[in-house]
Amino acid sequence: MRRPRRLRQNPAIRSLAQETHVRTDDLIAPLFVREGSGPPTPIESMPGVLRHGLDDLLRECEGLLRLGVRGVALFPVTPSELKDPVGQEALNAECLVLRTVRAVKQRLPELVLFTDIALDPYTSHGHDGVLTADGRDVDNDRTVDILARMGVLHARAGADFVAPSDMMDGRVRAIRAALDEAGCQSTGILAYSAKFASAYYGPFREAVGSARAVGTRPLDKRTYQLNPGNPREAIADALLDESEGADALMVKPAGPYLDIIAALRRETRLPVAAYQVSGEYAQIHAAARLGWLDLESTRDESLLAIKRAGADWILTYFARPVAESLSRT
């Protein structure tokens, strides 16, 4: 008679038999940076997540690196007065995110920096690109031209990976060509390859001050983000990004799309990243605050599921507390 429980008898045996582990090396910490100094400001819908001024962000990066978190994804909070319909601030060589990249790389050259390549932090309407003349859709090719120029600016500032999150057609090919032409051949592209038109992004939009933030009617981005009901289309999009020169492929959100992560893992040899987005983080905290779930156990199980599905890298707002927990074991 087979007795599978022999492998579950005590903590030591269970540890030896465990097949999947989440390590600090797997984690990338998304960080929000704002203008100005002073103490960081909290984000109401994301408990424990802060908008950092530059000096405080540098201290946060140092702390993460000491804990073994080697990657950080930067997201700027652009002042409203710098936003316009075409996102001109994105091409300002002295914009907030580029100043931040230069400062972090000067202080912590060993930290791997991922920067967001999209226009939604810079547009007054909150879409990820320039709108068409009638204002009904995003103009794909005009947007791609801007994204390629953004990518070069970010690479020259010191970003290790540029991460196009816009879901425009052809943007990976255009960014790769622009990077190579500018002499930035060593800069990688982490493509948001399977980014779904999800209801889970609301708290993030509050965090960066994007139009239609949490608690309001969401922006309709279904002409460029993926239909949640289309797994085959998601894999096709991701493999197209691979063919255009992406160095790693991302699925976003992570938890509701574990099947997409697993399917993509089977189809590619590239690293697969998954973004545990703001809504996933917020719902775990909300349930824990009500006493319905244990915060740490649910947090750890959610990340283990993402890793088990096949993700090599996990972008998560839990990066610091998980790293702190792992450092105590």
**Cα 130 from Cα 93, distance rounded (Å):** 19
Active site residue 252: yes
Q: Which residues of 170-209 are buried (b: 16+ CB within 10 A; e: fewer)?
A: ebbbbbbebbeebebeebbbbbbbbbbbbebbbbbbbbbb
**Cα 321 from Cα 207, distance rounded (Å):** 19
- Among candidate residues 83, 105, 221, 252, the one labeled active-site is 252
Active site residue 195: yes
SS3 146: helix
**Cα 67 from Cα 44, distance rounded (Å):** 26
**Cα 320 from Cα 243, distance rounded (Å):** 34
- Among candidate residues 83, 195, 221, 307, the one labeled active-site is 195
**Cα 278 from Cα 280, distance rounded (Å):** 5
| Size of the chain in residues | 329
Q: Which two tokens stand for residue 104?
A: 């972090």
Q: Are 93 and 149 in contact (CB under 8 A)?
A: no
- Residues noted as catalytic: 195, 252
